[in-house]
Amino acid sequence: MVDQLARPKDHVEVYWFSEQAQGYVSDGQLEQYESGRLGFPNNHFDPEKAHVLYNEYHDQYALADEVGFDGIMTNEHHAAYWCGKPAVNLDAAVIAKVTKRVKIAILGNVIAINDPVRMAEEIAMLDCYSGGRIISGFVRGGAVESLQGGIDPTENRERFEEAHDLIVKCWTEPGPFRFEGKYYHHRVVNPWVLPMQKPRPDIWFPGTGSPESVVWAAKHGHPYMNLGAVMETTEWLKQIYIDTALEAGYQPGPEHFGYLLKVFVADTEERAQEMGRHFVWTEGHRQRGPVEHVDPPGYQSRKAVEVKRSRPTGAFAGSAGAPQSYERQQEGRTIIVGTPDTVIEKLNYVVDHLNPGYLLIYGNEGPMPHQDCMRSIELLGKEVIPALKEIKLRPYETD
C-alpha cells in the first residue's frame, strides 16, 4: 500500500554523515584474525579513546548544524570497529540536544532484530525531543546484524516488512489494538508516546544496489537512499524507482531519491588528497571474514546477488565484491576531495546528473584528525552548500 509523504523539492538538501569510526584500530591488529567483524575480539576496544572520539563526533554534528547543513544522518552497526554506534537512537538523542534546526535522519534502525513496538516508542520520543525533526529510516541491516541478533538470516526480509507495518500502525492507528503477525505477537499494543509529526515521521529506506530494495521503497512511497553505487548503477536504480512509482499510481520526483558519497574539503588540494585516503582505511577489512558471516545463504535473493556481481557498487564494493582503489573511486565520483572550488565543480556534476532531492555527505573516516574534519565541515557549509543550492532540481521525466 502506498503511504508516501514526501514533499516536492526545488533544491537539494545536504546531510552530514559519520560512521563514528574507532580510528585507533590498526591493520596489524586486524590481520591477526580471520574476520574484522564477529571474529575480531572486543578487547581491542578502548573506552578512554572512544570517550574522546564520541565527543569529537558530536562537536562535528553541532558545527554542521551551525554552518548550514540541512540535516545529519546517523546509523548503527554491530560488532563493527569502523562504526561506533550499535544503538542509533542513542546517537539521535544526542544529536537532538546538540543541534537546533537540522533534520535528524536515522538510517537506520535494524527493525528485523528489535521489538517493533519499542522502536515505535523510541522514535516517537526522539521526535518529541527534537521538535519534529526526525526522519525514521528503517534498514534490514547487514548479515552480521542478523547473526548477532540471533535470527535466521533467511527470515530477515519478512521480519523487516512485518516490523515496518507494525511500527507504522503504532504511529497512525489509535491504541489499544491487537497485533498477530507471523513473527510478532502482541495481545495489547498501546504506545503512550506518539510522534509530534502527523500522520507520522517520514520513512527512508537505503540500499547499495539491489533492485528489490528500490521496488519495495517505491511501492510504499518511501524515499530511497542509494549508498554510494557508481553513477551508472545509481541512474539505473532511480529509473526502477520511477517505473515502480508510476505503476503504484503516483508521480515520483527528486524528493523520493537520495545519494550518498564520500566528500572531504581542505584549504589545499594536497591536504585534501592526504585526508581523502582515509576513506579507504577499512575497506579491505570491512567485509573481511568467512562468507557465512558476510553473506550467509538466504540473506540475499539470487537476483540481488546477480545484480551486485554484474554491476559495480562503487564506494562500498566493486563489481565482484572487491573494494575499489582510492583513485578509481575518485574517477567514479564516489569519493570527492579537494578545495571548495574543486569539490563544488564535482558535486555540481553529480547533482546535475542524478537530480537527487538529498545529498548525503559521508564526511570522515578512520583516523582523520578532528580539526581537519571540522575545517571540512566549515568549508562545506560556508562555500560548497550555497553553491549546490543554486542548482534547481528538475521533475523526473516519464514516458
178-192, 282-296, 347-361: segment of lowest average pLDDT: 282-296
CA distance 289 to 300: 17
- Residue 143: pLDDT band (50, 70, 90) is confident
CA distance 251 to 225: 18
- Residue 298: pLDDT band (50, 70, 90) is low
Query: What fold does the segment set 13-388 form as a domain?
Result: TIM Barrel (3.20.20)
CA distance 219 to 1: 7
Residue 292 has pLDDT above 80, yes or no: no
- Which tens digits make up the pLDDT trace of 311-341? 555 545 433 456 789 999 999 999 999 999 9
398 or 252, higher pLDDT? 252
- Which tens digits make up the pLDDT trace of 42-59? 999 999 999 999 999 999
- Domain spans in the chain, listed from the N-terminal domain onward: 13-388
For the residues 249-273, what does the mean pLDDT come to?
98
- pLDDT of 144: 82
Residue 307 has pLDDT above 60, yes or no: no
- pLDDT of 287: 53
- pLDDT of 282: 82
- Which tens digits make up the pLDDT trace of 190-212? 999 999 999 999 999 999 888 99
- pLDDT of 320: 41
27 or 184, higher pLDDT? 184
Contacts of 118 (CB under 8 A, 6+ apart): none
| 216 φ/ψ angles, rounded to the nearest 5 degrees | -60, -45
- pLDDT of 344: 98
- pLDDT of 44: 96
For the residues 148-165, what does the mean pLDDT come to?
91
CA atoms within a 13 Å half-sphere pointing along the CA-CB vector of 116 = 26
Q: What type of residue is 21?
A: A
- pLDDT of 253: 97
204 or 7, higher pLDDT? 204
Q: Please provide the average confidence, as pLDDT, over all residues in the chain.
A: 91
- Which tens digits make up the pLDDT trace of 157-187? 999 999 999 999 999 999 999 999 999 999 9
- pLDDT of 318: 38
- pLDDT of 315: 47
Is residue 177 a contact partner of residue 108, using CB atoms and an 8 Å limit?
no
Residue 284 has pLDDT above 70, yes or no: no
Where does residue 203 rank: exposed (0-12), middle (13-18), buried (19+ CB within 10 A)?
buried
The percentage of residues in the chain with a pLDDT greater than 90, rounded to a whole number, is 77
For the residues 21-28, what does the mean pLDDT come to?
93
CA distance 114 to 111: 5
Q: 298 in the Ramachandran plot: left (φ > 0), alpha (ψ -120 to 50) or beta?
A: left
β-partners of residue 224 are 205, 257
Residue 289 has pLDDT above 80, yes or no: no
- Which tens digits make up the pLDDT trace of 222-258? 999 999 889 999 999 999 999 999 999 999 999 999 9
For the residues 384-396, what does the mean pLDDT come to?
97
- pLDDT of 267: 98
For the residues 361-369, what does the mean pLDDT come to?
97
For the residues 51-77, what does the mean pLDDT come to?
98
CA atoms within a 13 Å half-sphere pointing along the CA-CB vector of 342 = 17
125 or 320, higher pLDDT? 125
